[in-house]
Structure 1
Amino acid sequence: MTELQEVARPLSDWHEDMGDVLWWFFPMTEAPYVGSPLDCGRTCEITLRLVGEEHIHSVSIGGWPGYHTHFTPLPALPKEPA
């Protein structure tokens, strides 16, 4: 039995009606990101207090990483275990 392998499509082919997909970066050096470019992270504030100074920085964590270049659809849902 041979398995049909999806061809990774470029980011420019994706549109929001497609929803969440698997996002890949080539060469593959990590697991795919699951989601969409519309995913928002959470903004966190970091306060650094040095003698006589205070620095507040806002950073976004989580959400769309932004460096994935290609996508494939999510696989079919597996059957429920017996």
Structure 2
Amino acid sequence: MARLDIADGFDVHDYRSKLKLLEQDGGSMTLANREGLGCPACGDAFERLFVGDDETVTFASAPNGPICLARTDDRLLVMTH
């Protein structure tokens, strides 16, 4: 299984064939994992990926399963499993 590589930052265009955009607004996007990419934090496949550019983020509801967090210089990534 290929793992989401964030060693040099994260560019969604590098993974556009493997991720499906579900929602996007000014400073964030939510994507579905179509190809079973591995989480950059734990290595397991994740279901959804939230990418945020803002300094703060509030989520209205909690996921049913585990979550992992990863940080690049510019973005916060939240993976739900």
TM-score, normalised to structure 1's length?
A: 0.28
Highest Rg: 1 or 2?
1
- Give the TM-score normalised by the residue count of structure 2: 0.28
